Structure 1
């Protein structure tokens, strides 16, 4: 028995009917191969994942202690507090670890970290595990374990008490669904359109016009002209070069074809499609076609309340489930400080503090503490006297 809330368990043989190889990738109808790595090659997907993961990682994360009178205080003396807020492992900062875990969950549907416990039952480190190297195996006693494959191909098994598992929406309550897998066909179309455009620029001697001449040309002269034009004006490296025409050749400008227009429209539409997958306002992903000052503010509010809040709740509850035992959960809880989103906006931050102080639910000393400013003795009494 490992004190205080984990126990030794005999690891049974794997159940061959249960194996979760996460997001192995597949060839889509468009012919493009889609997995988490290729999907991040789409700029909108990369921007969406970076936005969610970076924002989550930037928010302050605290362990709080419940007080007998119903209040709470930061449990800075609790060992887990330092692991989450400062140093989760020897190689990463708290920001880096949380950004990696959130990005893995957003892309793969699952994020894993090995929990290192000390002899007293305290968490001393959280070591990230690549989702592609983890297989979940159901045990005969209706529990499960995690089989982890290292770079040398060796497999080691970890019990559920030894793994922090952060999962996206799940069908079975155990393995999270990858949004990349769910939207694989759509993303395959985006990758195919992207490849089509790249190959056109790389291989096509294709200008927005045609060459015409009133003179008759032989097969040899046509071949020579084609080779010359191909060598001088094909590819992105030769874009913008000035053509010198001879033998009565004239250049006729052509308008954008319907095919080109549809290709550009499909690229713009792909931004909206990816935004739907990750539930992010397109304005925040660089699509400013319908943006103005008023709706941009509302879209940011939408991002915080509709996009970000579910991720924060998911992470908070996963941390409490894995890192706090039944006894510890009665006294401690883990919570993000969403007020950290105001740090980049001094006007809204000042308005937030002013409203709290005027309404009586925030003290000036607390506002100074949130701003990492030194303590001013008697500032709360002085403010109360002024208000009176």
Structure 2
């Protein structure tokens, strides 16, 4: 296994009560308790969490990424062609695969990491190897540590690869306390909510497992033995699972203990969990399938804008600034969100007409916005 997780260290001093000698121990803990096996400790097995995480990850992975440069007072210009690090960071993987997997890691574990794999002639990265953040160690070099990096430098380790500095690694870090070297993710901060969702799924499966309400199989036979009772119960359950006819003699009676998911508040509890997941991932409830009243086209369009402004924006800026650190001074990275803000055709055409009538847009500028080739003289 490639290392452990991104770790925070706890220093504990142990003192011998007899000799008085003390020794300092360093304990590393990944701080994300064991939740379950599977992708991101099983968090993706919850339908609401799957939907929320993939929605954000695919939006980040689907947008185009560009680099811009400003030098010597010259106008800002977009680099063309797009640098390989932004166009296809980890060939042969497509851009969406790389960025969306990074985004999932950022959401769940609070960190997204890539080991720089190739550089151009100027020494700037052109390709990376994305690495799961729970296979990475990070620490700040202090005096006495076994490291080739200078004191105060941040050091990364990927399994057998040691002494890697920030120059060798792209690290997109999630929310964190001042001075922390690693970010916080959903697994570390919201494990209770995820655990509640898993338990609700288990209860729902249990309630419907046999196809009948919970009940009491009552026998009037005073000589009924325990093995006979178990056989009677097994036969009854088997007949209900197979949807066949159950045969009970005169001394046996089934008394249903009726249940209703509404009465048990199971449905409402699961809705509440969806509310919490929407808060955790920062997306509108309607995107998780929760019915809301008075939904109109305008509301839906505004919700899409709100996802960009109040949920996606923070993640985008973290990606932009982390990637910009690996480009020359005066060059920065931006994600192009124009496609996410693109309104319906009728609204766009009305907006174009306003610009044309006011004189601050030309026909060819409008055609460019609509991904159409120019017509006539480009200077017209």
Normalised to the residue count of structure 1, the TM-score between the two structures is 0.75
Q: 1:145 to 1:200 in 2, by over 3 A?
A: same
Contact 2:215 2:258 in 1 (8 A): no
Contact 1:342 1:348 in 2 (8 A): no
User: What is the alpha-carbon distance in structure 2 between the residues aligned to residue 208 and residue 198 of structure 1?
Assistant: 12
Q: Aligned residue for 1:318?
A: 322
Quick one: which of 143, 156, 164 aligns to 1:146? 156
Contact 2:83 2:126 in 1 (8 A): no
User: What is the alpha-carbon distance in structure 1 between the residues aligned to residue 280 and residue 237 of structure 2?
Assistant: 42
Gaps of 5+ in 1: 1-14, 382-388
Q: Aligned residue for 2:146?
A: none
Quick one: which of 292, 304, 317 aligns to 1:300? 304
Deviation, structure 1 residue 369: 3.1
User: What is the alpha-carbon distance in structure 2 between the residues aligned to residue 369 and residue 210 of structure 1?
Assistant: 69
Q: Aligned residue for 1:120?
A: 122
| Aligned partner of residue 310 in structure 1, secondary structure | helix
Quick one: which of 193, 214, 218 aligns to 1:186? 193
Contact 2:284 2:303 in 1 (8 A): yes
Quick one: which of 230, 243, 252 aligns to 2:237? 230
| Aligned partner of residue 325 in structure 1, secondary structure | coil
Contact 1:135 1:146 in 2 (8 A): yes
Q: Aligned residue for 2:173?
A: 167
Q: 1:373 to 1:360 in 2, by over 3 A?
A: same
Deviation, structure 1 residue 209: 7.5
Gaps of 5+ in 2: 1-8, 12-25, 143-150
Summarize deviations over 1:246-279 as a string: whole Å, max 9, x none. 6579988875447863222211110001111111
Summarize deviations over 1:276-323 as a string: whole Å, max 9, x none. 1111111112212446124333322221211112222221111112x1
Deviation, structure 1 residue 377: 2.8
Q: Aligned residue for 1:280?
A: 283
User: What is the alpha-carbon distance in structure 1 between the residues aligned to residue 263 and residue 361 of structure 2?
Assistant: 58
Quick one: which of 36, 43, 61 aligns to 2:47? 43
User: What is the alpha-carbon distance in structure 2 between the residues aligned to residue 342 and residue 62 of structure 1?
Assistant: 17
Contact 2:68 2:77 in 1 (8 A): yes
Q: Which moved more, 1:293-302 or 1:96-105?
A: 293-302
| Aligned partner of residue 198 in structure 2, secondary structure | helix
Contact 1:168 1:176 in 2 (8 A): yes
| Aligned partner of residue 26 in structure 1, secondary structure | coil
Deviation, structure 1 residue 50: 0.5
User: What is the alpha-carbon distance in structure 1 between the residues aligned to residue 75 and residue 358 of structure 2?
Assistant: 19
Q: Aligned residue for 1:366?
A: 365
| Aligned partner of residue 181 in structure 1, secondary structure | helix
Q: Aligned residue for 1:9?
A: none
Deviation, structure 1 residue 144: 0.8
Q: Aligned residue for 1:62?
A: 66
Q: 1:173 to 1:250 in 2, by over 3 A?
A: closer
Higher helix share: 1
Q: 1:348 to 1:206 in 2, by over 3 A?
A: same
Summarize deviations over 1:211-255 as a string: whole Å, max 9, x none. 899x95673887665332211213xxx4xx353666579988875
Q: Which moved more, 1:366-375 or 1:100-109?
A: 366-375
Q: Aligned residue for 1:207?
A: 212
Q: Aligned residue for 2:89?
A: 88
Contact 2:52 2:281 in 1 (8 A): yes
Q: Which moved more, 1:165-174 or 1:250-259?
A: 250-259
User: What is the alpha-carbon distance in structure 2 between the residues aligned to residue 277 and residue 256 of structure 1?
Assistant: 32
Q: Aligned residue for 1:52?
A: 56
Q: How many residues of Structure 1 are paired with residues of Structure 2 in the alignment?
A: 343
For the aligned residues, what is the CA RMSD?
A: 3.5
Contact 1:145 1:158 in 2 (8 A): yes
Task: Check if 1:196 corresponds to 2:197.
Answer: no
| Aligned partner of residue 45 in structure 2, secondary structure | coil
